Chain A
Amino acid sequence: MSTTITTRTADLRAVFESLELFQTLSAAEVSEVVGACTVEAMEAQTTLFEQGDESDALYIVRSGTLEVAAVSPLGEKVVLATLGEGTVVGEMSLIEGGPRSATVSAVDEVEVLKLSRASFEAMRRAGSKAAYKIILGLARTVGERRRQTDERVQEVFLDPDDHIDAFESQLHDMLGRLRKA
């Protein structure tokens, strides 16, 4: 039994160590984070959380596939992504509440690791270096994302001629769907 638990813990540690967000954590710090997580099993076609739910945890896909979908302003379900093993979902939930921007559900049988904001805040309050390293990791991710956003937006307005067609076609699609609805 203890061998099984040790193997499972080592297995979970390996999941964390493979993820960029946790790359700067030492083995002991990863173990600390693993200890703060719970493992949740989901049956196929069940929902992890719904668009609009309060963001209260980060999830890591341990096995199986999740689907991320949102309801468009026209009321249509739009599948935004499918997430496989080793993907992190909702990392900003660790430092920010607010409503979930999409619904995430299991395509097949899924196992996820859950790190709740409450557990993470307890680690912060206790002065855990691991928790602070994770925030620095989030800061790197957000910083890169913001720079990519700036570049993407800048590109559109620097060469308007190159993008007018794409926005026209997007608008026509939207109007077409509105008429159908």
Chain B
Amino acid sequence: MPTDRHRLAREALRTRPFFDALSDEEFDRLIDACDVRTLAPREVLWAVGRQGQSCYVLISGRLEQSLTRQPVGRKVTQIDRPGTFMALSYLVKPWRHHSSAVALERSVVLKLDRERFEAMFEAGDAVAFRLVDELAEALVQEMRDANERLHEVFGNPAETLRLLRRRTRNA
């Protein structure tokens, strides 16, 4: 039965392509499988090194995701578009987070635990398959990023050498 949670999620997410493509029943099943979490400003959603057990979808508010990546240093991304998936790859395996995410203002997110996703997947739920489709898109980007980083560091020895020498001098 639709609840306030369903109404809130529907209003925020229905205009996003992923959610718009789901039927009403599929949309409700996904919302039922999720918990709603409200974050206070500066509240941490996940931190570096913590084991990831869930993925999240932004309903409202604004979050900041930050990670330290050599050789560029700290990279910060603001997430403010409702319907944005976060930490989607943690549906696959409980890796440790390599980034952290903190709320910049009062924010509401949907939280889907890996175990619930796995149960939906095993039951052959089309919603779980749509999530895997979304994951496949993210995978392609993740693979490209990894290849670019390898090329940047190991395929360009002159630049890497320059950076390493500079760090040695500044140490």
Nearest-CB distance from A156 to chain B (Å)?
Answer: 6
Q: Which one of A7-15, A33-41, A162-170 is at the B interface?
A: A162-170
Contact residues of B between 87 and 102, Cβ < 8 Å to A = 89, 92-93, 95, 98
Contact residues of A between 127 and 164, Cβ < 8 Å to B = 127, 129, 132, 135-136, 138-140, 142-143, 145-147, 149-150, 152-154, 156-158, 160-161, 163-164
Residue of A nearest to B131 (CB): A132
Size bin of chain A's contact surface = 20 to 34
Do residues B70 and A164 form an inter-chain contact, with CB atoms below 8 A? no
Interface of B (DSSP majority class)? helix
Of B71, B89, B124, B143, which one neighbours A157 at CB under 8 angstroms?
B71
Please tell me if A107 contacts chain B, counting CB pairs below 8 Å.
Answer: no
Of A146, A153, A167, which one neighbours B142 at CB under 8 angstroms?
A146
Nearest-CB distance from B166 to chain A (Å)?
Answer: 9
The complex places the Cα of A109 from the Cα of B168 at a distance, in Å, of 52
The count of A-to-B residue pairs whose CB atoms sit within 8 angstroms is 98
Do residues A127 and B129 form an inter-chain contact, with CB atoms below 8 A? yes
Please tell me if A80 contacts chain B, counting CB pairs below 8 Å.
Answer: no
Do residues B168 and A161 form an inter-chain contact, with CB atoms below 8 A? yes
Please tell me if B74 contacts chain A, counting CB pairs below 8 Å.
Answer: no
Do residues A135 and B146 form an inter-chain contact, with CB atoms below 8 A? no
Please tell me if A96 contacts chain B, counting CB pairs below 8 Å.
Answer: yes
Do residues A95 and B136 form an inter-chain contact, with CB atoms below 8 A? yes
Of A139, A142, A145, A167, which one neighbours B164 at CB under 8 angstroms?
A167
The complex places the Cα of A167 from the Cα of B92 at a distance, in Å, of 36
Contact residues of A between 166 and 181, Cβ < 8 Å to B = 167-168, 170-171, 174
Do residues B146 and A160 form an inter-chain contact, with CB atoms below 8 A? no
Do residues A160 and B168 form an inter-chain contact, with CB atoms below 8 A? yes
Question: Taking A139-B92, A146-B145 as contacts, is the C-beta distance between A157 and B164 under 8 angstroms?
Answer: yes
Do residues B136 and A135 form an inter-chain contact, with CB atoms below 8 A? yes
Chain B residues lying within 8 Å of A89, measured Cβ to Cβ, are: none
Interface of A (DSSP majority class)? helix
Chain A residues lying within 8 Å of B132, measured Cβ to Cβ, are: 132, 135-136
Please tell me if B76 contacts chain A, counting CB pairs below 8 Å.
Answer: no
Question: Taking A129-B124, A146-B145 as contacts, is the C-beta distance between A140 and B93 under 8 angstroms?
Answer: yes
Chain B residues lying within 8 Å of A96, measured Cβ to Cβ, are: 140, 143
Do residues B153 and A156 form an inter-chain contact, with CB atoms below 8 A? yes
Do residues B93 and A167 form an inter-chain contact, with CB atoms below 8 A? no
Of A95, A129, A157, which one neighbours B70 at CB under 8 angstroms?
A157
Do residues B92 and A174 form an inter-chain contact, with CB atoms below 8 A? no
The complex places the Cα of A154 from the Cα of B153 at a distance, in Å, of 10
Of B70, B136, B157, which one neighbours A170 at CB under 8 angstroms?
B157
The complex places the Cα of A147 from the Cα of B98 at a distance, in Å, of 9
Chain A residues lying within 8 Å of B93, measured Cβ to Cβ, are: 140, 143
Please tell me if B126 contacts chain A, counting CB pairs below 8 Å.
Answer: yes
Chain A residues lying within 8 Å of B161, measured Cβ to Cβ, are: 164, 167-168, 171
Q: Which residues of B approach A to under 8 Å, CB–CB?
A: 69-71, 89, 92-93, 95, 98, 121, 124, 126, 128-129, 132-133, 135-136, 139-140, 142-143, 145-146, 149-150, 153, 157-158, 160-161, 163-165, 167-168, 171
Across the A-B interface, the 9 shortest Cβ-Cβ residue pairs:
A157-B70, A160-B164, A167-B161, A170-B157, A139-B92, A149-B146, A146-B146, A171-B157, A96-B140
